[in-house]
């Protein structure tokens, strides 16, 4: 599957942080109607990739580590789900009896072409453009 629920939630988390302020996880969850367990899990992934900063403590929370114009849609999706694939057969090491060197699958080739185009577009779309037009 191309976009997981985790990817959707990650984009919504970034939207909740788009004003550049420090926001608690509970406020992120309230603003974007997200479950807290998933929000904590995803914010840790985004922080690990350098997209968010965390501040611990009673007044803690998360804030952006880079500007929205420096973060692409691809950055967010790849941070939480590194295998952004249109089809499972595109995964490295996947064996498909319909796609081999003697007889390549034309459907597979077309989806590879589409995947390449999609990833290029995602890399070019900043969160600033996505959230504010």
CA distances from 71 to 30, 39, 59, 60 (A): 23, 19, 26, 23
C-alpha 50/C-alpha 111 separation (Å) is 31
- What domains appear along the chain, each with residue ranges and CATH number? 5-132 (1.10.10.10)
In the block, residue with structure tokens 């990817």: 7
What pLDDT is stored for residue 76 in this prediction?
97
> pLDDT per position in the chain (133 positions), as tens?
578 899 999 999 999 999 999 999 999 999 999 999 999 999 999 999 999 999 988 889 999 999 999 999 999 999 998 888 887 777 777 877 777 778 888 888 898 899 999 999 999 999 999 999 8
What pLDDT is stored for residue 1 in this prediction?
55
């Amino acid at each position: 599957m191309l976009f997981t629920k985790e990817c959707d939630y990650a984009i919504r988390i970034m939207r909740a942080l788009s004003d550049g302020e420090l926001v608690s996880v509970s406020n992120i969850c309230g603003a974007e109607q997200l479950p807290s367990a998933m929000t904590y899990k995803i914010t840790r992934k985004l922080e690990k990739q350098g997209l968010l900063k965390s501040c611990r403590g009673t007044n803690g929370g998360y804030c952006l580590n880079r500007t929205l114009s420096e973060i692409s849609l691809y950055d967010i999706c790849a941070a939480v789900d590194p295998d952004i694939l249109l089809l499972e057969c595109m995964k490295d090491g996947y064996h498909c009896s319909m796609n081999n060197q003697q007889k390549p699958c034309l459907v597979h080739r077309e989806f590879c072409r589409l995947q390449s185009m999609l990833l290029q577009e995602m890399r070019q779309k900043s969160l600033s453009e996505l959230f504010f037009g």
